[in-house]
Amino acid sequence: MRTLRVREAIREAMAEELERDEDVFLMGEEVGQYQGAYKVSEGLLERFGEKRVIDTPIAEAGFAGLGIGAAIVGLRPIIEFMTWNFSAVAFDQLLNNAAKLRQMSGGQLTVPIVFRGPNGSARQVGSQHSHAMEHFYCHVPGLKVVAPATAADAKGLLKSAVRDDNPVIYLESETLYSMKGEVPDGEHLVPIGKGRIAREGKDVTIIAYSRMVHVSLAAAELLLQKGIDCEVIDLRSLRPLDQDIILASVAKTHRAVVAYEGWPYGGVGAEIVDRIQRHAFDSLDAPVLRVTTMDVPMPYNANLEQLVVPQASGIVAAVERVMYRK
Amino acid sequence: MKEPRTSLDMYRMMLLIRRFEEEAARAYSLGKIGGFLHLYIGQESIAVGASHALSDGDYTVTTYRDHGLALARGMSANAAMAELFGKATGCSLGLGGSMHFFDAAHGMFGGHGIVGAHLPLATGCAFASKYRGDGRVSMVFYGEGAASIGATHEAMSLAALWKLPVVFVCENNQYAMGTSLERSLSVPDVSRKADAYGMAKDRFVADDVFTVRDRLKVAIDRARSGAGPSLVEICTYRYRGHSMSDPAKYRSKEEVEEHKGRDALTRLEASLVLDPDTKDEAGQIQAAVELEISAALRFAEESPEPSIDVLEPTTYKGEFAR
């Protein structure tokens, strides 16, 4: 085991896959000479050269589509969005080309491509730079969506994503880039579609992914002081979703709270709540609650932003409600 | 040079495309074909000229008006007609329909329904060719209606910046659906867009298939040599409406007739029939094409419907992600 920051774990995954497979390349804005807008790709240009690490103009639709075109003829691109917010201008490429080319070609084409970059809220970057984009992408059959919370998973999931023959949406968090964690030595792959128990508990299941896993763990500590023992599930993968790990936990705790960034109308959390009520209705002792971003665009003001983003205090309150403590 | 053998081959393919689409239109009116059906009638010289200029292994990507290119690149009339009928034997297993003809083995990478969004794909195919140094060229076709949308320009911007082996072919058929050129473009000469990207350009009329072949060959050779992309605007005309539901009230009958008078297929046919060396074979080709089209209609009619089992494996490779 070694201790790495999340950004180093992502970089190591890319370096290992670039080293392993000549068909893999990294393309995006500022990934090369600038060393990455968030220094994730630092050193990769020097190590792998301009052929493999490619700086682009600001043209997300263009280079996302170019990556898809390269993938259908056999390359395995890693396309970096400086942030997932900017994928909105390339949304058509992901929705209509990455996700659909296989099906509308009758299975002739495969699209082995990874789109990656930071997603969700950062700190006071305003309404256009704070989107949780997973809710749009999880809706689309043909795409896979992963959102690691730890350095080990960041590395292992990215390596699996590069080797997957389907388009994978890989969501990072700016707020996690500097977080340290243990990463196994040697070849480390984490399968797409398997969640993990981040904290074992018996009273309530808190379901989260990416940054919100850490917020949920903080909430669990607060709740322990109130005598409530929470189980925290880190989904790691949103599509496919590890339904089994959710249902097994709910069968044990009989109560669930889903905590995630994103607006409350629909989205990943609503999907999870639906699956729990459909498959575990009889084992529930309380309605499943969601803790989400408030239903407004993200404000700049620091105090207001913290009110809008889901917090540990909100998770605590939701858990107390499903425990009928309040 | 107009080699007799090539003339006959080109004639056969142009006639096959025209007759294929005339019969497709008939089948559509009988309810055998659903959804959209965008006919290429009038524009055949472009797909056929291009296919004769390209090499095996080169990549082609086009719009939803894609039957002509698919046939010209080597797709069988059976697979094409069966796709229109939505059958399991279609080129895309009946999942794509008229707008999404794919035949990867013949370098036919669609058949795309979002205007302009396929230009980045072709640019990516070209990127892969340069990355591997495999000598392949990509050619992407689009209508002048796509000259205004962002993806078109982003693709050209990247292709020119990185000198990718791609040829952008604007099939300027004068109408973006029902909006005429002068009502949609501030600069009606689409080829001038190349200047902004430092790309080579060419512009000509599609009424002679050899001209199409030879002028496109120049751009293809330029791409293959590593000298970068080109924008080639080919002025053409579609005789039918935008799609089957379009009565084309935005243009006059006289205008349509004037263009039909310059029809590339009719002109080629006339030259072959007048030439004693080719007259007999031209007649044989006509008979063979009729047989091929009627066989394709029968094949499509008799083919099975796709089963629901095809849906999940064509959505994800490997296990379905739910």
Tell which residue, A192, A195, A104, has the closest CA to residue B92. Answer: A104
Mean pLDDT of B168-173: 97
Residues B200 and B203: their CA atoms lie apart, in Å, by: 11
Whether B322 maps to a domain, the answer reads no
Residues B83 and B98: their CA atoms lie apart, in Å, by: 7
Q: Which two tokens stand for residue A96?
A: 């209509």
Residues A6 and A93: their CA atoms lie apart, in Å, by: 28
What per-residue confidence (pLDDT) applies to B293? 98
Taken in order B286, B287, B290, B291, the sign of the CA dihedral is: negative
Whether B49 maps to a domain, the answer reads yes
* Substitution target from A104, A140, A274, A278 for chain B, most B beta carbons within 10 A: A104
**Interchain pair A66, B161: CB under 8 A:** no
**Interchain pair A65, B117: CB under 8 A:** yes
AA identity, residue B88: A
User: What is the ipTM metric for this complex?
Assistant: 0.97
Whether B321 maps to a domain, the answer reads no
Q: Which two tokens stand for residue A210?
A: 């990416």
What per-residue confidence (pLDDT) applies to A33? 97
Chain A hits for B86, Cβ within 8 Å: none
Chain A hits for B96, Cβ within 8 Å: 104-106
**Interchain pair A105, B151: CB under 8 A:** no
Flag whether residue A1 sits within 8 Å of chain B, measured between CB atoms: no
For B61-73, the pLDDT digits (tens) are 999 999 999 999 9
Percent of chain B with pLDDT strictly greater than 70: 100
Residue B84: CB atoms within 10 Å: 29
Looking from the CA of B40 toward its CB, the CA atoms found within 13 Å total 35
For A223-247, the pLDDT digits (tens) are 999 999 999 999 999 999 999 999 9
* Residue ranges, CATH 3.40.50.920, chain A: 196-322
Query: pLDDT-derived band of residue B1, with 50, 70 and 90 as boundaries?
Result: low
| CATH code for the domain defined by A196-322 | 3.40.50.920
- Catalogue the active-site residues of A: 60, 129
CATH class of A2-183: alpha beta
Find, in chain A, the residue whose alpha carbon is nearest to that of B90: A106
> Any idea what the CATH number is for the domain that residue B208 is in?
3.40.50.970
What per-residue confidence (pLDDT) applies to A311? 98
Whether B12 maps to a domain, the answer reads yes
**Interchain pair A61, B158: CB under 8 A:** no
Flag whether residue A224 sits within 8 Å of chain B, measured between CB atoms: no
What per-residue confidence (pLDDT) applies to A260? 98
Mean pLDDT of B214-239: 97
Flag whether residue B115 sits within 8 Å of chain A, measured between CB atoms: no
Query: Which has the minimum average pLDDT: A72-76, B183-187, B289-293?
Result: B183-187
* Residue ranges, CATH 3.40.50.970, chain A: 2-183
**Interchain pair B313, A107: CB under 8 A:** yes
> Which residue range forms the structural domain that includes residue B243?
4-315
When divided into structural domains, chain B yields a total of 1
Residues B39 and B68: their CA atoms lie apart, in Å, by: 9
What is the bridge-based pairing of β-strands A144-146 and A168-172? parallel
Chain A hits for B119, Cβ within 8 Å: 65
For B65-117, the pLDDT digits (tens) are 999 999 999 999 999 999 999 999 999 999 999 999 999 999 999 999 999 99
**Interchain pair A59, B127: CB under 8 A:** no
* B90, B109, B150 ranked by CB distance to A72: nearest: B109
Instruction: Strands of chain B (E only): list them.
Output: 59-62, 102-103, 108-111, 138-143, 166-172, 175-176, 179-180, 200-205, 230-235
Residues 246-285 of A with CB under 8 A from B: none
Please state, in angstroms and as integers, the Cα–Cα distance from residue B320 to each residue in A196, A284, B77, B313, following that order: 20, 28, 33, 7
Residues B232 and B218: their CA atoms lie apart, in Å, by: 10
For the cut 70, the answer to whether the pLDDT of residue B42 exceeds it is yes
* A62, A109, A239 ranked by CB distance to B155: nearest: A62
Whether B16 maps to a domain, the answer reads yes
**Interchain pair B125, A73: CB under 8 A:** yes
Kindly give the confidence (pLDDT) of every residue in chain A, 326 residues in length, as a single tens digit, with 9 standing for 90 and above: 999 999 999 999 999 999 999 999 999 999 999 999 999 999 999 999 999 999 999 999 999 999 999 999 999 999 999 999 999 999 999 999 999 999 999 999 999 999 999 999 999 999 999 999 999 999 999 999 999 999 999 999 999 999 999 999 999 999 999 999 999 999 999 999 999 999 999 999 999 999 999 999 999 999 999 999 999 999 999 999 999 999 999 999 999 999 999 999 999 999 999 999 999 999 999 999 999 999 999 999 999 999 999 999 999 999 999 999 97
3-state secondary structure of A63: helix
Backbone angles phi, psi at B168, to 5 degrees: -90, 120
Whether B131 maps to a domain, the answer reads yes
**Interchain pair B322, A67: CB under 8 A:** no
Residues A169 and A64: their CA atoms lie apart, in Å, by: 12
Q: Which two tokens stand for residue B95?
A: 């999942």
Query: pLDDT-derived band of residue B2, with 50, 70 and 90 as boundaries?
Result: confident
* Substitution target from A22, A105, A137 for chain B, most B beta carbons within 10 A: A105
For B106-149, the pLDDT digits (tens) are 999 999 999 999 999 999 999 999 999 999 999 999 999 999 99
* Substitution target from A25, A55, A72 for chain B, most B beta carbons within 10 A: A72
